[in-house]
Structure 1
């Protein structure tokens, strides 16, 4: 059963109960202690589950059940204290920002569990959305509310983590019965206080709101049962994070029924929070969809190719021809991606030199290696846009005309080469990255149309960034789609603060994204490949200037192997590795042949 749907239904019932609670609390019909007490007592409905499964627990499970039941009741008490003093529309989401974090930390301590991939993304968006809603509260109330909400969130998060352990040992039904039984015991503890007894029994004697109270408690009880069931199916932190989903209902209800008024910055903040919550729920839904996908066959046939950049090989101080021949003869990749750099071919206007590219294609053809030829302005390797100096000085329209002439000459020269299996037009044309000036879309589409007109038989490959690219435009306009796949990167904005970071994305991210794009474009049979699979460190400076030890730390041989396994689990059938020049440089210049040898085994497998 899908835990997310169960959790959302439970949150909807809980939101309805909380709305009733706020109505009654504003009338002073009931007090927070009476709410917590009666919600605990209504846990007695769990007795009806006894015929469906009940067993005696171990000492550990019994202790966890007792703590889970008690912390749940007392967590509710602190929440009702906060609800009495704060705006209803702010308290519910504020708790939703605290409880998931408490559940995550508690689960890590108790069971050593954590989240992965899209779960992290969904969790983060939901918590941030809830925090944004909490910040919309009036400043004067924040000190008291913060203390009450922190206590409530910590206790409720701990309760969820403990409940998960109970369910893991005894199953959902038996575990729920015991947790609710201990919740009743905790609720009865309120009766030791004379003032609490007065509030509890004084409240039920007031007939004017008895129907609302009973309805609210029943909705809360049923919602609680559903949320416990969701916890038995998923990580407690994820279930708690879905509290943000209450906001759509809360926002409308508080505005329409309770007369709470939102305008200006407060309204903008709540709308922004709603957007974050929607992203969080979407991420969790995609994560659940990913889990439903068929397993990727471990031993399926995979085509392993490589990208070669003459320019980058020279920048490393290598004999680029020896580097290229070593790749062909020692590694023996199944396919190649070669690059027609504009600034290398046409250093002066109209004076084109194809000798180096001719030689690369000749050597590939001698060995029967198929080639993808990339052409255009934006090509692989920094600075991404590789225009000759003379072209960069031209007005935009004239530069585009000169680029079209370059593309024309490249296609006319090589379209009769049997080794070229497809053209790659530009590199990640829809991703704003690199030292490039913005291009009008009509220029790119004109370039694309030119290649197709000159060679209508060969397919055109368009590429996009794997993690941040949308994919939809490139897949729509291209015959074949190619994604990059990078795990460790140095972001331009936050890199100076955090250094190299690793994307918190699992391989299923690519599987889900691929299926979504196929559906969006209506091109279900389109070929998808990984055109750039990271095989070298990502550094803010050129790798030749990075200390050897730092390069190993950023991208170790073990991490290289792990990246290959990660890529296999993403489910593609064709991969072009990135970094063969660096592997050769590490071997020939730095005396480290682990990368080269691992790649050789991979290509020969």
Structure 2
């Protein structure tokens, strides 16, 4: 005796199932939005490379950030080409200063290490490295990671390691993504330092977060509302907060923590600042304090435990050129969360 479901009945069953799934997701999201404790920690990312690009003094800029911004966390990328300009010769004077200054101000640090770390061009490969020899290149990368982790694993300021930045997202002037390398790096760092947790990151808008959770403790995601590229120019992502919330809920069973590691708080400027004719007033119009408020409010609807703002070097650059509204707005927003 065969069991046969008529096409019309099967179609109704599928519709009913879809409706049930949608209702379930809606109820889950509503319940989550009501019950979730929205009191995240706040931090920033600080790039010495970007500060230098803007013509800022790195130490002076960092001092102002940790002394004036009411933050709890700061992410610091370690740039391979800066710390190992010659093979086997390491200079940690800049990172030592930043780590010690963070410790003095009781700010927790996430150190981003690897081939690909935050800020353009994403990959900071020393001129001396030979990318044509895969084995030698990998060996030199892992040697650098070994030296860095052993140097800072006992530092008072260190909270966690970030291994690579969006390692599966093909963005920046980088070699093609190598998933096997990434997982080997994670295992290597965990072997060198079993105490501190490991974070990695993914594009908040252009990836499925749960696919990026393997092997790590914390997943950080970017949140960009407006971007630019050569093909289409300015593009505004239409994603409402509920999309990010759903992604968060789906990935949370696989990691200890989900955070916004990169909340856009600066304009996406296509031109090289050194060559542009734009004035400070023009720059401010590209991303005014009102945009900062909107982005901050948007991020707080998602329900993550930590939000790290992106663009602190830019705020300081603007402040140094007479436009302090972004700097002051950031202090206002971060201070309001303490009440």
Checking the alignment, whether the CA contact within 8 Å between 2:36 and 2:303 is kept in structure 1 is no
**3-state SS of 1:577 partner:** strand
The equivalent of 2:163 in structure 1 is 425
Match of 2:231 among 484, 489, 493: 493
Write the distance in 1 (CA, Å) between the matches of 2:316 and 2:272: 16
Structure 1 residues 286 and 588, CA gap change in structure 2 (3 angstroms): farther
Structure 1 residue 296, shift from structure 2 partner: 5.3
1:569 aligns with 2:301: yes
The equivalent of 1:409 in structure 2 is 147
Structure 1 residues 396 and 333, CA gap change in structure 2 (3 angstroms): same
The equivalent of 1:295 in structure 2 is 33
Which residues of 2 match residues 310-329 of structure 1 at below 5 A?
310-329=48-67
The equivalent of 1:530 in structure 2 is 260
Checking the alignment, whether the CA contact within 8 Å between 1:430 and 1:473 is kept in structure 2 is no
Which residues of 2 match residues 348-363 of structure 1 at below 5 A?
348-363=86-101
Write the distance in 2 (CA, Å) between the matches of 1:454 and 1:565: 39
The equivalent of 2:291 in structure 1 is 559
The equivalent of 1:594 in structure 2 is 325
Structure 1 residues 558 and 286, CA gap change in structure 2 (3 angstroms): farther
**3-state SS of 2:207 partner:** coil
Higher strand share: 2
Structure 1 residues 286 and 565, CA gap change in structure 2 (3 angstroms): farther
Checking the alignment, whether the CA contact within 8 Å between 1:286 and 1:512 is kept in structure 2 is no
Greater shift after overlay, 286-295 or 469-478? 286-295
Write the distance in 2 (CA, Å) between the matches of 1:286 and 1:399: 49
The equivalent of 2:74 in structure 1 is 336
Match of 1:540 among 270, 283, 289: 270
**3-state SS of 2:125 partner:** coil
**3-state SS of 1:311 partner:** helix
Structure 1 residue 528, shift from structure 2 partner: 0.7
Which residues of 2 match residues 237-256 of structure 1 at below 5 A?
none
Structure 1 residue 602, shift from structure 2 partner: 2.2
1:467 aligns with 2:205: yes
Write the distance in 2 (CA, Å) between the matches of 1:392 and 1:332: 43
Structure 1 residue 390, shift from structure 2 partner: 1.2
Structure 1 residue 453, shift from structure 2 partner: 0.6
Per-residue deviation, residues 24-63 of structure 1 (Å, max 9, x unmatched): xxxxxxxxxxxxxxxxxxxxxxxxxxxxxxxxxxxxxxxx
Structure 1 residue 378, shift from structure 2 partner: 0.2
The equivalent of 1:157 in structure 2 is none
Structure 1 residues 494 and 392, CA gap change in structure 2 (3 angstroms): farther
Root-mean-square deviation (CA, aligned residues, Å) is 2.6
Structure 1 residue 544, shift from structure 2 partner: 4.8
**3-state SS of 1:476 partner:** coil
Write the distance in 2 (CA, Å) between the matches of 1:298 and 1:284: 21
Structure 1 residues 467 and 398, CA gap change in structure 2 (3 angstroms): same
Structure 1 residue 375, shift from structure 2 partner: 0.5
Match of 2:245 among 511, 528, 531: 511
Structure 1 residue 298, shift from structure 2 partner: 9.7
The equivalent of 2:129 in structure 1 is 391
**3-state SS of 2:220 partner:** strand
The equivalent of 1:124 in structure 2 is none
Checking the alignment, whether the CA contact within 8 Å between 1:313 and 1:319 is kept in structure 2 is yes
Q: How many residues align?
A: 321
Structure 1 residue 475, shift from structure 2 partner: 1.4
Checking the alignment, whether the CA contact within 8 Å between 1:430 and 1:469 is kept in structure 2 is no
**3-state SS of 2:182 partner:** helix
Write the distance in 2 (CA, Å) between the matches of 1:299 and 1:528: 14
Q: Normalization by structure 1: what TM-score? A: 0.50
Structure 1 residue 293, shift from structure 2 partner: 4.0
Write the distance in 2 (CA, Å) between the matches of 1:400 and 1:464: 22
1:308 aligns with 2:46: yes
Checking the alignment, whether the CA contact within 8 Å between 1:290 and 1:512 is kept in structure 2 is no
Structure 1 residues 287 and 490, CA gap change in structure 2 (3 angstroms): farther
Structure 2: give runs of 5+ residues left out of the alignment. 1-6, 12-17
Q: Normalization by structure 2: what TM-score? A: 0.87
Write the distance in 1 (CA, Å) between the matches of 2:72 and 2:222: 18
Greater shift after overlay, 540-549 or 578-587? 540-549
Checking the alignment, whether the CA contact within 8 Å between 1:335 and 1:371 is kept in structure 2 is yes
**Post-superposition, which runs of at least 4 consecutive aligned residues in structure 1 deviate over 4 A?**
283-291, 296-299, 543-546
Structure 1 residues 587 and 411, CA gap change in structure 2 (3 angstroms): same
Structure 1 residues 284 and 538, CA gap change in structure 2 (3 angstroms): farther
Which residues of 2 match residues 59-458 of structure 1 at below 5 A?
288=26, 292-295=30-33, 300-458=38-196
Structure 1 residue 299, shift from structure 2 partner: 8.1
Write the distance in 2 (CA, Å) between the matches of 1:554 and 1:381: 19
Structure 1 residue 562, shift from structure 2 partner: 0.7
* Greater Cα radius of gyration, structure 1 or 2: 1
Checking the alignment, whether the CA contact within 8 Å between 1:296 and 1:569 is kept in structure 2 is no
Checking the alignment, whether the CA contact within 8 Å between 2:210 and 2:247 is kept in structure 1 is no
Structure 1 residues 345 and 285, CA gap change in structure 2 (3 angstroms): farther
Structure 1 residue 539, shift from structure 2 partner: 2.4
Higher helix share: 1
